[in-house]
A and B are shown apart, each in its own frame.
Chain A
Amino acid sequence: GEDVEQSLFLSVREGDSSVINCTYTDSSSTYLYWYKQEPGAGLQLLTYIFSNMDMKQDQRLTVLLNKKDKHLSLRIADTQTGDSAIYFCAEVGSSNTGKLIFGQGTTLQVKP
């Protein structure tokens, strides 16, 4: 079946690195995504990775994909207070249409 799991909460100090983890079950997933949601807002696409890649870096963001363990992580370097938000990982469902399967979201708290 299709399922995505995330830890619910992460607290870090400003300037530290944050690592948000996600596991998924659908081995046929082609794309995996990270979204950010601030209070009262929609979902902001941060980055995504294609399933034939192991790593993708985009400025302060690094995505690591371990297909064998079906594990995805998002590392935010030099975390800032403006990074405080809920982070969702998502996979494209096995039907490979527009259906995204989301995790429960990880609340990132950044302390000054």
Chain B
Amino acid sequence: KAGVTQTPRYLIKTRGQQVTLSCSPISGHRSVSWYQQTPGQGLQFLFEYFSETQRNKGNFPGRFSGRQFSNSRSEMNVSTLELGDSALYLCASRGGFDEAFFGQGTRLTVV
């Protein structure tokens, strides 16, 4: 069974640009959550999608958005990038309320 796949693994963007990250969950899992990991703030919840609907949202500005497709794949978008958006972005895949599996993450560097 394939794991959670995040693409791309690494990304370098310039301030003011926008970026789209992709997450393919484990087959059969309908919940995808996104997290931002930084040395200063640790792991922070961005949002969760379940069956194409946003079910929960963290405390991030509106520049951070996401969506989920009918095949459960999810994308997150960050517009007008700031230096502080440099982070490891992780997505988690869940089939139920128990196990939550993470991908390898996308390392975003904003210069």
Contact = CB atoms under 8 A, between A and B. Distances in A.
Interface in B90-107: 90, 92, 94, 97-105
A99 B97 contact: no
B36 to A, nearest CB: 11
Interface of B is mostly: strand
Interface in A50-88: 50, 88
B42 A99 contact: no
A98 interface: yes
For chain A, which range describes its interface: under 10, 10 to 19, 20 to 34, or 35 or more residues? 20 to 34
A43 interface: yes
A19 interface: no
A92 B97 CA distance: 9
Nearest to A43: B102
B50 A97 contact: yes
Given A41-B104, A45-B99, A48-B99, A101 B45 contact: yes
A88 B92 CA distance: 15
B40 to A, nearest CB: 11
10 contacts: A31-B97, A41-B104, A42-B90, A42-B103, A43-B102, A44-B102, A45-B101, A95-B56, A96-B97, A99-B45
Interface of B: 4, 6, 31-33, 35, 42-43, 45, 48, 50, 55-56, 58, 90, 92, 94, 97-105
